[in-house]
Amino acid sequence: MEAATVLALTPTQRSLWWGAIIGGFVIVVAVAALLTILVALVHRIDTRVVMVRDTLRAAAANTADTALIGKTAEGVDAVLAEGLQHHLFLGRVLDKVRS
């Protein structure tokens, strides 16, 4: 049987190894925290992009019939003109409106 080789570390070497291990652990935890924050922000951005897309689609749907505004205005003007004619006629007949 061969004798087992024992490696002895000086107190300085032992402190350096523990410092490296703890430093590595801190770095791993920091990277994990930053990646978690990144994933949360990407999820929030994705959700808000969907909200903006839906809002733009709703705006497009709301303004799809704007071409009818002119025709509707013409119809309203015609109805108002007809109502004015009736008002004037009835006023003359009843002698309440003088033109």
pLDDT exceeds cutoff 80 at 7: no
Per the CB < 8 A criterion, the answer to whether 92 and 99 are in contact is: yes
Tokens of 69: 């505004």
Per-residue pLDDT band for 95 (boundaries 50, 70, 90) equals confident
Tokens of 76: 């309203």
At residue 60, the pLDDT reads 84
Mention every residue, 6+ apart, whose C-beta is less than 8 A from residue 17: 9
pLDDT tens-digit readout, 8-50:
889 899 999 999 999 999 999 999 999 999 999 999 999 999 9
Who has greater pLDDT, 96 or 65? 65
3-state class (DSSP) for residue 54: helix
How many whole angstroms separate alpha carbon 77 and alpha carbon 82? Answer: 9
pLDDT tens-digit readout, 41-79:
999 999 999 999 999 999 888 887 788 888 888 889 999
Mention every residue, 6+ apart, whose C-beta is less than 8 A from residue 92: 99
